[in-house]
Amino acid sequence: MTDSILFRLPTERGQQLRTLARTRNTTITEVIAHWINQEIAAGTIPDTTPGFPIEAVKVGRKHAVSFGMVIADDQIFLPPMRPEDAISAADALERIATKNGAWLNADLGADILKFERAGTGVVIEIIDGVTEKETRRVVPRSVALDIARQLRSAAAKARRTVAK
């Protein structure tokens, strides 16, 4: 189950959201996700996902993509990925978010990154290869798609930096 926040809405607005979701053949969560993505595209809010830090980083003389998860005060980061590995992970995450039954189990050095479906959501799991600690989050498909987009964006930034 995904973490959630409870909002209080007037009954009339709740009914309007239900009607809008039914009309679009989706959920209220997906309707709100669509609005959030519109605001990201408009530049109103940054294209980041709270709890999933993703960025292009410099590692020695090379550029890479950093990906992590934050749960409460606990943070875990994978070793920096090559841009092409980040794009492959993004492609797999997008397939998993849009198709049932798909999964990814990527060996990234000592650590493992796993994506799989869980009901209507997507499991994102990082397994520390040294401690074998598993950090796992279940996110809605819309959040998984956001993370895939952000991985691609960080990979593109890392590639542009290398090309300079």
pLDDT in tens, 107-116: 666 788 888 8
**pLDDT above 90 as % of the chain:** 43
For residue range 35-81, list pLDDT tens digits in order: 999 999 999 999 999 989 999 998 888 888 988 888 777 778 888 88
Q: Say yes or no to pLDDT of 128 above 70.
A: yes
Please report, for the chain, the start and end positions of each structural domain, with discontinuous segments joined by +.
1-46, 54-163
Q: Say yes or no to pLDDT of 163 above 70.
A: no
Q: Is the dihedral of CA 60, 63, 67, 70 positive or negative?
A: positive
Q: Say yes or no to pLDDT of 162 above 90.
A: no
| HSE, side-chain direction, 13 A CA sphere, residue 72 | 3
Quick one: which of 121, 126, 123 has its CA closest to 106?
Answer: 126
What are the CA-CA distances from residue 43 to residues 47, 48, 102 (Å)? 8, 12, 32
For residue range 79-107, list pLDDT tens digits in order: 888 899 899 999 989 999 988 656 666 66
Contact between residue 143 and residue 126 where contact means Cβ atoms under 8 Å apart: no
2-6, 66-70, 130-134, 143-147: which is most confident: 143-147
Q: Which two tokens stand for residue 87?
A: 């794009």
What are the CA-CA distances from residue 116 to residues 75, 78, 90, 102, 141 (Å)? 21, 18, 13, 6, 11
- The residues, ordered by sequence, that sit 6+ positions from 140 with a Cβ below 8 Å of its Cβ are 2, 29, 30, 33, 120, 121, 122
Average pLDDT, rounded, for the chain: 86
Q: From CA 68, how far away is CA 86, in angstroms rounded?
A: 12
The reported pLDDT for the residue numbered 106 is 65
What's the pTM? 0.84
Q: What is the DSSP string of 45-106?
A: S-S-BTTB-EEEEEETTEEEEEEEEEETTEEEEPPPBPHHHHHHHHHHHHHHHHSTT-EEEE
State the pLDDT confidence band at 164, using cuts at 50, 70 and 90: low
Q: Say yes or no to pLDDT of 11 above 90.
A: yes
Q: Say yes or no to pLDDT of 118 above 90.
A: no
Q: From CA 93, how far away is CA 11, in angstroms rounded?
A: 36
